[in-house]
Structure 1
Amino acid sequence: MIEASYLDIGGCLSYVEQCGAGQPVLCLHTAGQSGVQWRHTGPALAALGYRVIVPDLPGHGRSEPAPGGPVTDLGTYSAWCGTLLDRLGVNRPFVVGCSIGGKITLDLAVRRGDRLAGAVVMAAGPGPGRVNLTGLRRELEDVAAPSRADRTQLGTLAVVGRKVPPERADLIATMHRREDPAVSGSDLIGWGTHDVSAEIGGIACPVHLVAGSDDLWLEPELIRQAADVIPDARFTLLDGIGHYPMEELEDFAAVLDGWLTDLTARQEKRR
């Protein structure tokens, strides 16, 4: 059963869903989206013995806007997630994130890795993401362009992997067009400016980096190279998958369970 609540974190009421019991796992969504991206994974992962925590970041989904307006610094979201974990009294959780959620996950691993059981970083690397910052900042001045929703849908389809059935890819893209362009544009500025490259060598928890071979938002080889810098990190390349593994893979909860089990084993070896 999913338990939903609103928590006052950082001055805004934030929507958080939880289900299951056991080892906690914080699941973070992508730019402009919400925890709905984990709607299939959450209950299935809970059935495997985890306590799954899925928030809507400030300004996303059912959460109120961030007090200062849309956020362009992903470090702000990372601090918010740290406060959320503290408020929930969560002890040594896994953190799993995709896209900006992946960058936030990596930021959390850098800032408080000694308090995490491990991190799964999907579709993200430690350096600034590939994006046109000038264009994004200009677009924020005119976020009501009628074509924006269509561009979001078509852009999402472009980064879904070739192995994803057409009807599933179309559902992913249709769900994504619901986003608030002011929020998603600000998120992408954060994607293009966030950089923890100089700090990943000191991460204190086991990390698993994941990239899709069909992801046009990044270069998988750069993600593999980052795994060489992070102590004891592992890298997985998903053939035929794009930017949204938790939405594209049919039984993602089972795949994630395997990764989390591996992180646990590696954590035990460190002790």
Structure 2
Amino acid sequence: MTAPLLNHLSQGPDSAPPLLLGPSLGTSYALWDAVAPELSVTHRVVRWDLPGHGGSAADLIGPGASVGDLAALVLDLADALGIDRFGYAGVSLGGAVGLHLAVHHPDRLTSLAVLCSAARFGDATAWRERAERVRREGLEWLVESADARWFTPGFTVPALVRDHREADPEAYAACCDALAAFDLRDRLGEIAVPTLLVAGRQDPATPPAQLREIADAVTGSTLVELPGASHLAPAQCPRAVLAALRTQLDGPPASGMEVRRQVLGDTHVDRAQARQTPFTARFQDFISRYAWGEIWTDPTLSRRERSMITLTALVAHGHYDELAMHVRAARRNGLTPQEIGAVLLQSAVYCGVPAANSAFATAQRVLEELAEEEDSG
């Protein structure tokens, strides 16, 4: 019989680089609602629920649980989804899971982001006392102070407070046991995966000093402090969190010429540059700076989506030489021949059948050339 998995939500193309997102104690994967859809444009995003939280079964862990137990559940989930290596980002307890993975399973991670978390979460006795009280009295007494612990004054996310109220007390208490026993301070120097630390400047639970401690110990790590953010930064400051994660996952924005080469290929760009004259130089510079440096670098749309739009526009205007170039670009941007065909078929409806007929002929020729090049290569 297959062991039960953590409840999870997958978004984004299965072929995209995988990214797992971990939640904070007392919340569900809804913590990432304002961030995950944007990340799923370029990544296969899998966000998961802690045991007894959201849709995850409470009996996945029990009294005396450890962060290592939670990390093992995350790896079980990744294995079940066919994910070998993945980027990971987690908040608070979810961040602790990421630190554990980076120390004990570095071969599974491509990158690590630790948000509003710590290598040790204060006094272990306080966590054990919280666990015992939750087992005796339930969670309502904690729910009443959730906003004060999670957000700056006047801010709230009702869905997350509801998650807290509806969490299973026994599973919540087991997570408290895990936090009580967690201490990776003496092993932080072993972390070699690219690491981002994100701190909320108004976070009373894991103040910036605790993230700074990790950043100082992990060689090459980056620390970002978010003004106006408390403990649940992805919910309170999603745009800032998204910007930090995108920079880590995708690197700093490429220049226009870099993007032009990535999309169109060195051969095409070198040929265009070789043909450049004093008369056309300003136009070539304009294309690189504006079309490729501003439009194609805007992260609102993925390159796959931009290729689809560009193909349609070129069909509409009958620019078949440009279409041939962008069929090649579309393949470079991850579109399959079937997806390119679907775009051209859609164009037949809105741009006209004769235009689509010519476009199919152009695309067929380019795809055959690409196939021949792959066979000869």
TM range (shorter): 0.7 to 0.9
Which residue of structure 2 lines up, in the alignment, with residue 3 of structure 1? none
Partners of 2:183 and 2:24 in 1: CA distance = 17
User: 1:138-194: CA deviations, max 9, x gaps?
Assistant: 3144134xxx32x333322113443x7x35455543443332232222212212221
Is 1:127 matched up with 2:139? no
Partners of 1:174 and 1:64 in 2: CA distance = 17
Q: Identify which of 204, 220, 238 aligns with 2:226.
A: 238
| Structure with higher RCO (Cα < 8 A, 6+ apart) | 1
Is 1:12 matched up with 2:4? yes
Q: Is the 8 A contact 1:14 1:58 kept in 2?
A: yes
Compared with structure 1, are the counterparts of its residues 39 and 70 closer, same or farther at alpha carbon in structure 2 (3 Å cutoff)?
farther
Gap runs ≥5 in structure 1: 1-6, 266-271
- TM-score, normalising length: structure 1: 0.81
- TM-score, normalising length: structure 2: 0.60
Identity value in percent:
27
Which residue of structure 2 lines up, in the alignment, with residue 50 of structure 1? 43
Which residue of structure 2 lines up, in the alignment, with residue 103 of structure 1? 96
Matched ranges for 1:220-231 at <5 A = 220-231=208-219
Is 1:190 matched up with 2:178? yes
Report the structure, 1 or 2, having the larger helix content: 2
Q: Quick one: which amino acid aligns to residue 117 of structure 1? A: T
Q: Identify which of 68, 90, 97 aligns with 1:75.
A: 68
Q: Quick one: which amino acid aligns to residue 249 of structure 1? A: C
Compared with structure 1, are the counterparts of its residues 67 and 112 closer, same or farther at alpha carbon in structure 2 (3 Å cutoff)?
closer
Is 1:213 matched up with 2:194? no
Question: Which shows bigger deviation, 127-136 or 200-209?
Answer: 127-136
Compared with structure 1, are the counterparts of its residues 250 and 14 closer, same or farther at alpha carbon in structure 2 (3 Å cutoff)?
closer
Partners of 1:246 and 1:169 in 2: CA distance = 11
Is 1:158 matched up with 2:140? no
Question: Which shows bigger deviation, 254-263 or 215-224?
Answer: 254-263
Which structure has the bigger radius of gyration? 2
Q: Quick one: which amino acid aligns to residue 98 of structure 1? A: V
Compared with structure 1, are the counterparts of its residues 34 and 170 closer, same or farther at alpha carbon in structure 2 (3 Å cutoff)?
closer
Is 1:177 matched up with 2:165? yes
Q: Is the 8 A contact 1:123 1:210 kept in 2?
A: yes
User: 1:63-95: CA deviations, max 9, x gaps?
Assistant: 223355356311100111122222222243110
Partners of 1:68 and 1:183 in 2: CA distance = 7
Partners of 1:88 and 1:34 in 2: CA distance = 20
Q: Is the 8 A contact 2:59 2:171 kept in 1?
A: no
Question: Which shows bigger deviation, 98-107 or 14-23?
Answer: 14-23
Is 1:258 matched up with 2:247? yes
Q: Secondary structure of the residue that 2:247 maps to in structure 1?
A: helix
User: 1:204-242: CA deviations, max 9, x gaps?
Assistant: 211111111111112321320221111211111111211
Q: Is the 8 A contact 2:89 2:112 kept in 1?
A: yes
Q: Quick one: which amino acid aligns to residue 69 of structure 1? A: G
Partners of 1:78 and 1:219 in 2: CA distance = 24
Compared with structure 1, are the counterparts of its residues 54 and 70 closer, same or farther at alpha carbon in structure 2 (3 Å cutoff)?
farther
Compared with structure 1, are the counterparts of its residues 231 and 71 closer, same or farther at alpha carbon in structure 2 (3 Å cutoff)?
same
Q: Quick one: which amino acid aligns to residue 218 of structure 1? A: T
Q: Is the 8 A contact 1:27 1:96 kept in 2?
A: yes
Gap runs ≥5 in structure 2: 255-377
Q: Is the 8 A contact 1:19 1:51 kept in 2?
A: yes
Q: Is the 8 A contact 1:12 1:58 kept in 2?
A: no
Report the structure, 1 or 2, having the larger strand content: 1
Q: Is the 8 A contact 2:8 2:46 kept in 1?
A: yes
Partners of 1:64 and 1:137 in 2: CA distance = 18
